Amino acid sequence: MNYFHEGTAIGKYFSYQQELKRVNEERVIAYSDMVLYGDEKVEVSEEVVLEEVASAEDGYAVTERIQAWDKRTTLVAVIVAWLLVAPWCQRQKWLSLAYVLMAFYLVMVALFKGINGGAKYSELAIPAQATRWMACVALAVWILMRSGSKEKRLVSITWILVIAASLTFATHGYEAFMGHPAFRDLLYGAFESISVEISENTVFVLLKLIGIMDISLALIILFTRKKGVFLWMAIWGGLAALSRPIAFGDVGFEDALLRVANFGIPILLFFLTDLMNDFKTTTVTTYDETTAKI
């Protein structure tokens, strides 16, 4: 519910832009840069009059309208996402557009998170959240290719999901390797939950190892499809998501829920690998049989 009250990064961005416009920020900066620092590149006309700041109450009203729209959009997106799970929806080709829109919306959320800044590594939000938005891309492709060959469909989906998992794992791996402060707290919390005390140095070493492991997994799945690797990624993705409520208590549940795709996509790839193998086996048998007949 906290996420719902705060609104998305998109809502925050537009609220912020509206605030800046309301207080005439651009001109204020240009004027003071010119007077105080002699910035020649700043062009402000001689007649510039700094507009009066609109009343705070008017401003709040606009901000609240933006936030209300942001919340409505989020609510619609969540409802649509659940509706799309229905089997009937999976048969409607035109509904792939809804998934594309959903993917676009999630990319925008990640993009604006980076633009808004203020959080460590927020500029990496698009690849870090690839499992969320690329899952929608995969579903759109799945519906669009419904009438095509099953093999092509499976290969395409597998590749999209592999790239999604790879991007997310590689980004998180980089953040872990760099010693992301939030990851440190997650490690401390996880070890504390099993009554094991670890030193700060151990945490840094473990994060380096985790970083190397995540980046390695991200690379391995680009070149080979091993069920064991996907299973490990699913377990690890699930544990990493669960470490949030373990370390932070109730407030971490929403974080864990947001990261369900970090577990879901590798487990899907685990089963898809089986399907792909079955498919290949069937294809090969058919080929052999045909050859024998000839």
Partner 1 sequence: MKLPQKYKWIGAAFALGASELPATDRSDEQIVNADFKELVEEMTPLAGTNPAHWRVVWSGDTSTSATISWSTAENGKKHVVHYGTKNVGSDTEKYEFHAEAPKNGPYSITEKEAKDTKTAFFHHCPLTGLTPGTNYYFVLESDGKFSKPLYFKTAPKSGDFKLLTGGDSRSGIASRCLMNLRMAKEFSEKPEILALVHGGDYIVSGRSWRQWRSWLSNHELTTLSDGRVLPVIPTRGNHDGGPLFFEIFNLEKNRADLSFWHSIQVTDEVNIVTLDTNYSAKGAQEEWLEKQLSKLRPKSRWLLTNYHRPLYPAVKSPAGQTSVFVPLFEKYNVDLSLESDGHCIKRTVPIRDGKEDPTGIVYVGEGGLGVGQRTPKTDLWYLKGGYAGRGHHVMQLSFSKDALEVETIMLEGNTIDKVTLKPRSH
Task: Name the site residues for partner 1 (rule: CB under 8 A).
Answer: 2-3, 5-6, 15-16, 19-20, 22-25, 28-29, 31-41, 44-46, 50, 53, 56, 59-60, 63-64, 67, 117-120, 179, 181-182, 184-185, 188-189, 192, 199-200, 203, 247-249, 251, 254
Please provide residue 180's backbone torsions phi and psi, each rounded to the nearest 5 degrees. -45, 125
Side-chain-side CA neighbours of residue 143 (13 Å): 22
The residue type of 56 is A
- Which residue, 34 or 154, is less far from partner 1 as judged by CB? 34
- Which residue, 188 or 232, is less far from partner 1 as judged by CB? 188
- Which residue, 209 or 251, is less far from partner 1 as judged by CB? 251
- Which residue, 51 or 274, is less far from partner 1 as judged by CB? 51
CA distance 134 to 268: 13
- Which residue, 29 or 101, is less far from partner 1 as judged by CB? 29
CA distance 237 to 231: 10
Contact of 44 with 27, CB cutoff 8 Å: yes
The distance of closest approach from Cβ of residue 26 to partner 1 in the complex, given in angstroms and rounded to an integer, is 10
CA distance 150 to 156: 10
Burial of 187 (0-12, 13-18, 19+ CB in 10 A): buried
- Measured CA to CA in angstroms, residue 16 lies from 25, 136, 180 at distances of 11, 28, 27
**What token pair was written down for 173?**
């791996």
The residue type of 210 is I
The distance of closest approach from Cβ of residue 18 to partner 1 in the complex, given in angstroms and rounded to an integer, is 8
Please provide residue 149's backbone torsions phi and psi, each rounded to the nearest 5 degrees. -75, 145
- Which residue, 69 or 248, is less far from partner 1 as judged by CB? 248
The distance of closest approach from Cβ of residue 32 to partner 1 in the complex, given in angstroms and rounded to an integer, is 5
Contact of 128 with 171, CB cutoff 8 Å: yes
The distance of closest approach from Cβ of residue 61 to partner 1 in the complex, given in angstroms and rounded to an integer, is 11
The distance of closest approach from Cβ of residue 259 to partner 1 in the complex, given in angstroms and rounded to an integer, is 15
The distance of closest approach from Cβ of residue 193 to partner 1 in the complex, given in angstroms and rounded to an integer, is 11
- Which residue, 23 or 89, is less far from partner 1 as judged by CB? 23
- Which residue, 80 or 115, is less far from partner 1 as judged by CB? 115
Vertex 40: Cα angle to 35 and 43 (nearest 5)? 80
3-state secondary structure 106-160: HHHHHHHHHHHCCCCCHHHHHHHCHHHHHHHHHHHHHHHCCCCCHHHHHHHHHHH
Contact of 111 with 75, CB cutoff 8 Å: no
The distance of closest approach from Cβ of residue 267 to partner 1 in the complex, given in angstroms and rounded to an integer, is 27
**What token pair was written down for 149?**
């060959």
The distance of closest approach from Cβ of residue 6 to partner 1 in the complex, given in angstroms and rounded to an integer, is 5
